[in-house]
Chain A
Amino acid sequence: MGGGALAAIGAASGALTSVGLGFFALSNGFQTVLLSAAAREQRHHVRATGGEALDQLLGSAVAPRVSILAPAFNEAATIAQSVRALLTLAYPRIEVVVVNDGSSDATLDVLRDHFGLQPIHPIFRRSLETRPVRGLYRSSVHPELVVVDKVNGGKADALNAALNVVSGQLVCALDADTLIEADALLRIVRPFLYDERTIASGGTIRVANASRVEGGRVVDARVPRQVIPGVQAVEYLRAFLFGRLGWNRLGGNLIVSGAFGLFRRESLIAGGGYANDTVGEDVELVARVRRRAREDGVADLVEFVPDPVAWTEVPESARVLGRQRDRWQRGLADVLWRHRSVIGRPRYGALGLVATPYFLVVELFGPVFEVLGLLGVAGGMATGSLGFPFVAVFTAVAYGWAFLLSMAAALMEQLGYPRYRGVTQRLLLVLWSLVEHVGYRQLTVVWRLRGMWRFALGRADWGTMSRRGFRA
């Protein structure tokens, strides 16, 4: 290779290294800003809720009615336990609407047998278009339980069918396999009671894989000992406890998890309900509802509440996890594309000026910048413009910073809302915080790049998500 070519490679490597360096500084820097915002928010929240008597809300005659939406597709094995757990949630005025989304197994029969379902005529306003409803049932033993049996149309369609029949002012969207802590509704409803501008609130999702579950509740929370779910336990803590909590203060919460979120029903209906044609329906919904609220000049407050906790089972194999991350990336790309006119527009406030640009640059194109940076470093080493000691120190600083941020999330959990108890659990979190940035993160970069590629090709499938089931 001639000297000119080497010089060109060296120059390109230098440029790419600068891109990588810039990306790391931007990403970690913004995360540090989020962390400090989250720490302030957590301190405020702990002070405001310390010594609070949650049971005061129980028996309230003026508390808003909450309807829980639980779509179910082929959940015959677990549906009875899940529904029973929902019916025993602590909240004064509750309605549980289970949607059997065209299950091919015995989901409806199980519900019928366990809860004495009686058919009722569907006299309701079809505010949202859905696939045909085959039947509507009410439990004779738990009158607050309503079951909608409909033709399969996917999760978003099932949620829209439930939205048509609910009677509550607030609706809580759940995944059928989510385990909610008994007092979670009493906690997640707070933003609606304290601020009339609230249109949605989200709770924390945690990893239940190694935890012991009894009667649909997590009774002994444990950090998984396997690498993949273990790292996800840290990832979830970071995403929720300082990611979304920090966004509260910055005013740009864009995500309310589809697994556990509370919405004002009228805002959802006015926004057109859940979108059927996206794989990121939860992010899309919040983006659309907030955008519409801004355009109509009405309130658009979306609050994350750190103490209501829902537990979920995360993928345990790299293959299934890869499919999930691929889908999440496609969902994000789709949402940002649909709402591209919001990005950078002062009219949309923090949503347009901070949140969407951050999600575009750091969350969507982050993997691209990370790979470019790594290529630049490799090129620089190959051409001799970067020495190994410099690269080693640079890499250690960049990933060490991210490692510290993960550790900070684990510490925030411990100081604010501890569920994992014991030194062993803490040390496991430290270990998984380290592993997250050495190996795991690089794998997710590959999956996310694959997601972007598939989005560009127009792929909109969900992929199969196999689950092992909770540990009893």
Chain B
Amino acid sequence: MTSDGLLRLLLIAESVSLAVMVVAMVAVEVRAGRREVRDGRLRLESYRRVSAALLQPGEETSRLAIRSLRRLRPSVRLRLLADLRHAVAVNNWSDVIALADTAGLIAGARADCASRRWHRRLRGLRTLTILGTGVELAGLHLRDPDSRVRGEAARLVGVTADPDQVVVLTDLLHDPAAGCRFASADVLARLGSSAVPAVVQYLGRPEPHNLALALQVAAAIADPRFLRPVRALARHGDPEVRRSVATVCAAVGGAEAAATLVAHLDDPSPAVRAEAVAGLGRLQHWAEAPAVAARLRDPSFDVRRAAGLALWRLGGPGHVYLRREQRGDDRFAADMARQVLELPLSARAAG
């Protein structure tokens, strides 16, 4: 074929592709417009039917609600149930699950969870998470080969808060995938006190595992039950772990926590010292004002800054030390003390 002939052939191919694209574009748009109208109408109807079935339970109202749910596209049905989740009282939610089950939604989600394709398993778990059911599948998928699926399984555990599954959930704190680690920590922090035994158990495990992240969760929950295992980690070799220990102590508070913070004031890592000194400020542990004031002479700017602001938070005793340091012989301590004392009120309040 000559180059001229080839070019003409290419031109024809381009023209056909172009025509197909324009037609596809218009067709998709027309279909989307129609769908939007239809989905909106059916969704509203379904919302009304489901509400009626919840308010006036009965065979006829349930039948109509199920029929209306079945007429919805799966994605619209799921969005509707997600909205209902926020609107329906907890006691009535089991009725919604029963409707969704009869409408085939839960069976469909379970079938998706058994799929070989990761995106279908993900979709199935997301449906179950929204509905708040199927926790027995979560345990299986916490060990799924796909990290996104494992992360979603963690969220399902969060919805149902099953104690056995929560223990398994802590394993994800040292998952190789960052997304799983984040999902696990997020869910554990949301679970609050019901996650404490599992996290305490995790903190006491032999290494290697992700102590820093577990401590971040502990700090977010701030439960006194964490103090014992956390204090046991005060001399850990990793500065990030020791810094997190200080964060947990500052979040939990109390005499034991303050003692650990004071011990951390002489830590070789500036990040740990800064966290400890800031923690004493947050706890307003004025008895340790001299130890905090000593940190105004720290070689690290961050520690000096944290010490200055902590002294301000300690109130009267802290202010006395700030003024003394302002006139002291250490230039760096005096400068930091001056800067803090000159802070406008709003800045001091913000810390």
Contacts and interface: CB of A to CB of B under 8 A. Distances in A.
Contacts of B123: 50-51
Interface string B15-31: 10110011011101110
B350 A410 contact: no
Contacts of A397: 7, 10-11, 14
A56 B346 CA distance: 33
A423 B30 CA distance: 7
Where chain B touches its partner, the secondary structure class is helix
Given A403-B18, A404-B21, A393 B344 contact: no
B26 A426 contact: yes
Contacts of A3: none
B127 interface: yes
Interface stretch (B132-140, B177-185, B228-236, B285-293): B177-185
Contact of B18 (A47, A50, A407): A407
Contacts of B346: 118-120, 138, 140
B257 to A, nearest CB: 19
A59 B4 CA distance: 64
A61 B189 contact: yes
B119 to A, nearest CB: 4
A388 to B, nearest CB: 12
Interface string A126-141: 0000000000001010
Contacts of A121: 339-340, 342-344, 347
A193 B305 CA distance: 30
B179 A194 contact: yes
Contacts of B126: 51-53
A423 B27 CA distance: 9
Interface string A212-254: 0000000000000000000000000000000000000000000
A389 B130 CA distance: 62
Interface residues of A, number: 50
Interface in B134-154: 147-148
A196 to B, nearest CB: 5
Interface in A385-402: 389-390, 393-394, 396-397, 400-401
A394 B309 CA distance: 72
Nearest to B28: A414
A56 B21 contact: no
B75 to A, nearest CB: 7
B217 interface: yes
A143 interface: yes
B73 interface: no
A113 interface: no
Contacts of A118: 344-347
Contacts of B189: 60-62
Interface string A357-394: 00000000000000000000000000000000110011
A460 interface: no
Interface in B289-322: 301-302, 305, 308-309
A26 interface: no
Contacts of A414: 25, 28-29
B96 interface: no
B182 A48 contact: no
Contact of A393 (B11, B30, B147): B11
B62 interface: no
A400 B29 contact: no
A125 interface: yes
Contacts of B129: 53
Contact of A422 (B15, B29, B217, B220): B29
Interface in A36-55: 47-48, 50-53
A415 B25 CA distance: 9
B122 interface: yes
A277 to B, nearest CB: 28
Contacts of A408: 21
Interface in B204-254: 213, 216-217, 220
Given A121-B339, A403-B18, A407-B18, A430 B4 contact: no
Contacts of B178: 193-196
Given A51-B75, A123-B340, A408-B21, A143 B220 contact: no
Contacts of B22: 407, 430
A63 interface: yes
A418 interface: yes
B11 A396 contact: yes
A397 B6 CA distance: 10
B82 interface: yes
A403 B182 CA distance: 43
A255 to B, nearest CB: 24
A411 interface: yes
Given A52-B126, A414-B29, A120 B18 contact: no
A52 B75 CA distance: 11
Nearest to A396: B11
Contacts of B302: 125
Nearest to A44: B119
B33 interface: yes
B277 interface: no
Contacts of A404: 14, 17-18, 21
Given A51-B126, A118-B347, A120-B346, A423 B29 contact: yes
A424 to B, nearest CB: 9
Contacts of B147: 194
A51 B127 contact: yes
A60 B347 contact: no
A61 B308 contact: no
Given A48-B119, A53-B82, A393-B4, A422 B33 contact: yes
27 contacts: A47-B122, A48-B122, A50-B123, A56-B155, A60-B190, A62-B189, A119-B346, A120-B343, A123-B305, A123-B343, A138-B346, A138-B347, A193-B178, A193-B182, A194-B147, A194-B177, A195-B178, A396-B11, A396-B14, A397-B10, A400-B14, A410-B25, A411-B24, A415-B28, A423-B33, A426-B25, A430-B25
Given A53-B130, A120-B343, A430-B25, 9 more contacts: A53-B82, A53-B126, A62-B220, A121-B347, A123-B305, A138-B347, A390-B4, A400-B14, A403-B14
Ordered nearest first, which 10 A-B pairs have the shortest CB separation?
A: A120-B347, A118-B346, A61-B220, A194-B179, A47-B119, A400-B14, A61-B189, A51-B126, A196-B178, A62-B185
